[in-house]
Amino acid sequence: MLLLAVDTATPAVTVALHDGESVLAESNQVDARRHGELLLPSVDAVLADAGVKLEAVTGIVVGVGPGPYTGLRVGLVTAATFASVLGVPVHGLCTLDGLAYAAGAAGIEGPFTVATDARRKEVYWARYEDPRTRTGEPAVDRPADIAERVAGLPAVGQGAQLYPEVFTDARVPVHQSAAALAALAAERLAEGAEFLPPTPLYLRRPDAEVPKNYKVVTPK
């Protein structure tokens, strides 16, 4: 097994290579505006660090969100392209699940909350009983609207850091890690668990939209 994991659903451009037992190499950069520019060089760097050729990869792992439209699609399109070229499967995982798994590695047992920045003064979030067990589906809300539901719980992710008045026990990790995502995928593959399809989990309309009352002008 040799899994190449990528996630661009958050400001982190994160890539990792996992052999089914441990992480061989990883790259993590935080830049919300340069996902497309940074992802492929990060993949090249990770493969070089591990001394592995792309052709040796046996599976692709990708975070499917939730996340903003533009950044999220960079990772998904890249994952789908690699899988097609290599003829290997692509395994989708919820980005919040990867953060929850990383929280477990950081010592959080549960229950706790994962919250990432959804922009527009909102967060993508979910509650977890433990690092591998999410309770319910991911959602997008204004922090004040979920204050009672997350009160007193430890919280990880950038969303928790941005709204300390709601997430009063914010902890690390702050950003997504493809290494954690890959480790979670390796566990699920060993268990024969199902994965999500590699399609985007947006939870709301894209940030960039065609203006209302847009007038199309065509030449006569």
Mean pLDDT computed over 40-44 = 97
Specify the pLDDT at position 69. Answer: 81
Residue 208 has pLDDT above 50, yes or no: no
Length of the chain: 220
Q: Please name the residue ranges forming H helices in 87-176.
A: 95-105, 147-150, 158-162
How far is Cα 220 from Cα 211, in angstroms, rounded to an integer?
A: 24
DSSP-assigned beta bridge partners for residue 32: none
Residue 29 has pLDDT above 60, yes or no: yes
Strands of the sheet with 133-141, listed across from one edge = 133-141, 122-130, 112-119, 154-156, 169-171
Specify the pLDDT at position 149. Answer: 96
Please report where in the chains the tokens 């958050």 appear, as a residue. Answer: 10
Residue 216 has pLDDT above 80, yes or no: no
Mean pLDDT computed over 173-195 = 97
Closest CA to 93 of 2, 173, 1, 183: 183
Strands (E), the chain: 3-7, 12-18, 23-30, 59-63, 90-93, 112-119, 122-130, 133-141, 154-156, 169-171
Encode burial over 7-39: b for 16+ CB neighbours within 10 A, e otherwise: bbbbbbbbbbbbebeebbbbbbbeebeebbebb
Structure tokens at 25: 């190499």
SS3 content of the chain, % helix, strand, coil (to 5): 35, 30, 40
Mean pLDDT computed over 177-203 = 96
Residue 96 has pLDDT above 50, yes or no: yes
Closest CA to 6 of 85, 95, 86, 69: 95
* Single pTM value for the model: 0.90
Residue 212 has pLDDT above 80, yes or no: no
Concatenating the DSSP letter of every residue in 205-220 gives: --SS-PPTTPPP----
Strands 59-63 and 3-7 turn out to be parallel
Residue 57 has pLDDT above 60, yes or no: yes
Specify the pLDDT at position 107. Answer: 96
Residue 20 has pLDDT above 70, yes or no: yes
